Chains A and B, each alone.
Chain A
Amino acid sequence: MITLKTYARKEVYGTPSVAPVGKKSSSRSNKAPSWQTKIFRGNISLTPLKIENTEGSLWPVKTEFINELHLRRGKVDLSWPLRVDTVISGNYFITSNEDLDVHSYGGTQEESQQNFCEIFEEMLDLYVGSRIEELTGDAVRIKALFDRIIKQ
Chain B
Amino acid sequence: MATAIDVIKESLSKKGFRQIEGGNHNKWFFYHNGKRTCAYIVFSRSSKMKDFDDSLLVAAKRELKLKTNGEVRDLWNCPMSQADFIARLKEYGVLQANE
Contact = CB atoms under 8 A, between A and B. Distances in A.
Interface in A47-80: 52, 55-56, 58
Contacts of A125: 22-23
B59 A94 contact: yes
Contacts of A105: 56, 59
Contacts of A96: 59, 62
Contacts, number: 88
B55 A91 contact: yes
Size class of the contact patch on chain A: 20 to 34
Interface residues of B, number: 28
Interface in B18-33: 20, 22-25, 27, 32
Contacts of A121: 23
Contact of B38 (A55, A134, A142): A142
Interface of A: 52, 55-56, 58, 87, 89-92, 94, 96, 98, 101, 103-105, 115, 118-119, 121-123, 125-126, 130, 133-139, 141-142
The 6 closest A-B pairs by CB, nearest first: A90-B55, A122-B23, A139-B38, A138-B38, A89-B55, A136-B37
